[in-house]
A and B are shown apart, each in its own frame.
Chain A
Amino acid sequence: MRQEGWIRPYFRTYVRRFLVIIALGILTVCCACLLMFTSGYLISKSALRPENILMVYVPIVLVRTFGISRAALHYVERLASHDMVLRILSQMRIRLYHLLEPQALFISSRFRTGDMLSMLSEDIEYLQNVYLRTVFPSIVALVISGLVIAGLDSFDVSFALLMALYLFVLVCILPAVSLWLTKKRTKQLKHKRNRLYTKLTDSILGMSDWMISGRASQFIRTYETDEQAAMDVERSMHRWASLRSFIAQCVVGVIVVSIVYWAGHQYADRHIESVMIAAFVLIVFPLMDAFVPMSEAIERIPHYQDSLNRLRTMDDAARQETIEDAYTEQIKDRSNIHIHLENVSYAYSDAAEPVLEDISLDIPQGKKIMIIGRSGAGKSTLLKCIQGAIPPSKGKVTMNGIDTHALVIQIPQIISVLNQKPHLFDTTVSNNIRLGKRSASDDEIRRAAEQVRLERLIATLPEGYKTPMHEAGQRFSGGERQRVALARILLQDTPVVILDEPTVGLDPRTEHELLATIIQTLAGKSLIWVTHHLAFAEHMDEIIFLEKGRIVMQGSHLELMKREPRYRRLYELDHPNFITG
């Protein structure tokens, strides 16, 4: 039932539009049929050479009307259906966003495989096809076949039954067989294609290894073998598709012949007029255009499965989230924040080894601490505890005496974060900076840009502050992107700033300059800086070494230099002029 959660509710939301679209679809088919019907009638009637031209005047007008209406109705129907689907898309987006927003800080650690986020976004766009390509055409085909059978029923019950049988083949049996035949193959093909995709990505990202190892040709061979296997499945699916449409046409042929026989009999028995023979026969061709695509519409169903499954996983993940709104503590005076960690431990579950163990820290307003440790030492967990995103398993994390986990909603006003890859949004440069403070005036933005030394660069952009980021982004180096993010943080103006390895990947000079700007512009704020080496350690009040979740060294630069030979050795590695003297 949950699976329908992403498809069905939107019919209810847009029930009127939905009905209008279906009605338009039906009318389009009707007009096409009536055009041929009246044309057949008109010609036959004319062939009887009526005395008065007025006898065929009505059919003449009708033929023209139906011809024009069909085109117009089809046009309107396509527009209306796309409009509805885009409305649904918008709703789905908001819904997905609401699912993801509470887990924002955990997304990168939870969904490591591939680019989950853009996949989800594509899934939603793909689901438009459920409506456009499967639901709408199927319903139209079903309703039309109902109408046809009901219409014939009033002429001749037994023939109506025969037609019902034919249409049953076209609208039910053929699609069902098609679905049954292709379902497994669709899955196989998808699986094979995914494997090819991973394999190829692996090979392109690891190309230097393939080349240097001399195994490139070996790779190409195995890859081609896999491609062949996928192509075999594709071919068999294509063979079926072409055969299926031929079968459908055969049915259509039989229907035409049956209609001819029936109309002939009806006329022979004088149940219908002679002029109706052509009318009835000609109607078949446009009518069948509504039924033949049905198989393809149904065959698509397995294609939606993966997208629906992924979205369903998100539903489940969101259900496990705790509800943040329960925590509504507030700190009134945000100018002076005192962060205090007391014997904090954290483990993901009771059984698991603790990621953090017995951490105590005192960070009064304005203190600058540096946290250093190798990957997996617990640095990011420690940051999440300080941000109140996760409550410690043991011990306490407080701000001015209040539990940080209870402050979680206010945290963005207290702590800002500059991390390794701050996201620059695809909007203008000034809007990107303004994200720090929505109400910021242009002057404030300019001042922030000046402080982070971006004003000269921005002046060289084609439209200055109004330059879209996707244009400017190409001109922005890694260091400059960090500066944009820093300007944002200056506007956010929080008493505490977390720096989460903001200089990884920058070359030494850029790093040095960026750090100098950071230290200078963030004077007076508390700094919690996670880093991987000791540049600028002298500027910090306290340096903490984390190892396997514990603090193994703690103290100021001078203290550590005096006390810890290990620290001294590391510092010298970073500052080789010590070696040479």
Chain B
Amino acid sequence: MGRNLLRYKGSKTVMLSIGCLTLIQSAAIVMQAKWLAEVISALFAGELLNEQFTDIMLFLLAFLLRHGTALLQQRIAYRFAEKTGESMRKGLINQLFTLGPIFARQQGAGSLVTLVREGVLQFRTFLELFLPRMMGTAITPVLILIYIYMQDVWSGIILTVTMPILIIFMILIGLAARRQMERQRTSYQVLSNHFVDSLRGLETLKFLGQSRAHSETIGRVSDKYRSATMRTLRVAFLSSFALDFFTMLSVATVAVSLGLRLVEGNMVLVTALTVLILAPEYFLPVRMVGADYHATLNGKEAGEAIQSIIDQPSVDMEPSDHVPRPFWTKDSTLQLSHIHLQREEDGTMSLDDVSIQLHGIQKVGIIGESGAGKSSLIDVLAGFFHPTSGTIKVDGIEVSSLANEWWQEQVTYIPQHPYIFGGSLADNVRFYAPEASMGDVKEAVHRAGLSDLAEKLPNGYDEIIGNGGRQLSGGQEQRVALARAFLCRRPIILLDEPTAHLDIETETELKETMLSLFEDKLVLLATHRLHWMTDMDYIIVMDQGKVAESGTHEDLLARKGAYYKMIHSGLGGA
């Protein structure tokens, strides 16, 4: 692991300095043992305490040096992890905004937020632990071992032999634990999710009359969960048991072998003590790696997940300077030719050879069943998606996509559920035009039909709505979006099923407001509510990613094609 580590900025310097500190630290560990052993054996030999003052102080110095370098290592690693985590997070957030809302929806907002917040923290923990641990295992045991060989070959051999055994056992047990986890992974997941699943379904259980009896099930499943967890832990803890066991056994063996040779007189006390003090230190770095294994593993995986998003191919926003910036007027034209859109590799075509031409001020209805490609078309027009192939021309000038600032600055996009930010009503309305005056905001609110609500709210325009504030109904949310559109006066409006979830009366009222907003603009309205179509200048009927037919309401009725069938199937209402 950690092959990517060198990619991060400043990693070489950090590795070098941590490496040097580890060297100093290892030397301090050896010296600390040596001086302590000398003091003890001197006292043992009956020397006076006062004569030992220098050695004792030297010991204390080495001891403090050892922990002081640890402190420095921690801080250096922390700062490196902090910096790298920061740049990783910046990259991730920038990339999320480049990939756009469609990607965010596919991944799930919750998991992305977790990745940015928790994922980066875990990755930082990984970096913070990994470098010192790596250096620690690479340098410290080797140095200690060399010193021990210099003092006593037999102890050196015992320690040398134990290390691979210890590591092999650790790996074997780790693998066994993982196999066991894999084996019961699905049933384990069901068990561990059972409680939160029950809480989420509590209302349903209540309706079914099962909610009371269910508490027994919770107890039973929790017990099963416990025994399943314990089964796994029994194996998982074995690996640290093996670490402990072999360390302790090895230290004990060294002690006994030293003792026997002391008895035989082939050894002096000071050497024996030094080796005995050093023996646990020799294993310490490996044991620390074992203890931090899971934290580093999670962090490493989080880092990989983040990197895979950052590495996703994305076409950058075209820099505004290099493209012409036609502003949409009544004479403008937009031409899409042979547009294909494939959202996922190997997936079906969401748009299949779509060619349309739009110009000036026009109200265009896009109609079709769900999955017909209505939303995909709107997404391409909003610049959320780069078409897989095809050409787009604005005023006759070819552009590779509409993911351009100059284009998006002219567009208002209203989805089925407009997002209400946690903030005041005024700030929400002002979202697209943060500089707008309060007078303009009030005017927009009035035109969107929200004045009544604004007056009724206890804090008026300063009432906090959205997340953490007052919840608005679906109709009110839609009106906030309309107020935003009224305020920013952009010439193009894209709407994706704006009324599908509203009750019929609210929809009727909203329709009047919307039609007044649509005046003098290019409007594209994707909906399956057919009653809108009589108000549209032009209708595009989508079917399975293709344009099935297009024309005015009257034309299409006269043609008696897909549109005619749709109107007379009796499905239009729903």
Contacts and interface: CB of A to CB of B under 8 A. Distances in A.
Interface stretch (A19-27, A157-165, A242-250): A242-250
Interface residues of B, number: 150
Given A211-B408, A253-B60, A507-B370, A282 B71 contact: no
Contacts of A242: 71, 74-75, 78
A200 B112 CA distance: 9
Given A105-B206, A113-B468, A97 B241 contact: no
Contact of A67 (B248, B258, B370): B248
A214 B408 contact: yes
B253 to A, nearest CB: 8
Contact of B44 (A74, A246, A274, A534): A274
Contacts of A351: none
A534 B468 CA distance: 34
Nearest to A87: B226
A441 interface: no
Interface stretch (A46-54, A143-151, A330-338): A46-54
B273 interface: yes
A532 interface: yes
A197 B117 contact: yes
A278 B272 CA distance: 11
A488 B190 CA distance: 21
A277 B40 contact: yes
Contacts of B104: 204-205, 207
Contacts of B109: 201, 204-205
B531 A511 contact: no
Contacts of A101: 202, 206, 211-212, 214-215
B40 A67 contact: no
A427 interface: yes
Contact of B196 (A118, A253, A268): A118
A246 B75 CA distance: 12
B199 A118 contact: yes
B203 interface: yes
Interface in A66-81: 66-68, 70-72, 74-75, 78-79
Given A235-B78, A249-B67, A277-B44, A257 B573 contact: no
Given A204-B104, A257-B59, A39 B473 contact: no
A413 B248 CA distance: 65
Interface in A527-581: 532-535, 569-570, 572-577, 579-580
A107 B211 CA distance: 14
Contacts of B233: 78-79, 82
Interface string A52-95: 01001001100110111011101100110011001101100110
B10 interface: no
Contacts of A416: 207-208
B265 A49 contact: yes
B60 A239 contact: no
A30 to B, nearest CB: 13
Contact of A63 (B186, B210, B252, B408): B252
Contacts of A411: 209
A97 B219 CA distance: 10
B196 A423 contact: no
Contacts of B288: none
B533 interface: yes
A117 interface: yes
Contact of B202 (A100, A261, A485, A512): A100
A482 B218 CA distance: 25
Given A79-B237, A101-B215, A47 B44 contact: yes
Interface stretch (B143-151, B391-399, B536-544, B563-571): B563-571
A220 B86 CA distance: 13
Interface in B51-82: 52, 56, 59-60, 63-64, 67-68, 70-71, 74-75, 78, 82
A53 B263 contact: yes
A121 interface: yes
Contacts of B505: 374, 570
Contacts of A534: 504, 573
B116 interface: yes
Contacts of A413: 209
Nearest to B405: A214
B120 to A, nearest CB: 9
A155 B93 CA distance: 64
A508 B528 contact: yes
Interface in B519-574: 528, 530-531, 533-534, 557, 567-568, 570-574
Contacts of B198: 97, 425
Contact of B269 (A44, A231, A265, A426): A44
A40 interface: yes
Interface stretch (B307-315, B352-360, B410-418): B410-418
A243 B71 contact: yes
A468 B67 CA distance: 53
Nearest to B97: A216
Contacts of A87: 226
A43 B222 contact: no
Contacts of B225: 86, 90
B174 interface: no
Given A374-B473, A508-B369, A575-B573, A198 B467 contact: yes
A264 B49 contact: yes
A35 B434 CA distance: 71
A104 B504 CA distance: 30
A534 B529 CA distance: 13
B405 to A, nearest CB: 6
Nearest to A70: B248
B200 interface: yes
Contacts of A535: 573-574
Contacts of A216: 97
Interface string A409-440: 00111001101001111110000000110100
A42 interface: yes
A505 interface: yes
Interface string A195-235: 01110111011111111111110001001100100010011
A79 B41 CA distance: 41
B157 interface: no
A580 B567 contact: yes
A39 B37 CA distance: 13
A197 B117 CA distance: 7
Contacts of B201: 423-425
B571 A375 contact: no
Given A209-B431, A220-B97, A40 B276 contact: yes
B262 A43 contact: yes
B218 A426 contact: no
A216 B528 CA distance: 31
Contacts of B383: 211
Interface string B455-489: 00000000000111001011100000000000010
A458 interface: no
Shortest Cβ-Cβ A-B pairs, 8 listed: A412-B209, A574-B573, A423-B201, A90-B222, A507-B370, A67-B248, A46-B262, A206-B419
Given A374-B473, A508-B528, 14 more contacts: A43-B262, A47-B262, A64-B249, A75-B237, A202-B421, A253-B64, A261-B56, A277-B40, A373-B503, A470-B190, A508-B572, A533-B574, A573-B573, A576-B533
10 contacts: A35-B251, A197-B113, A207-B100, A208-B382, A242-B75, A246-B71, A412-B208, A412-B210, A435-B204, A508-B573
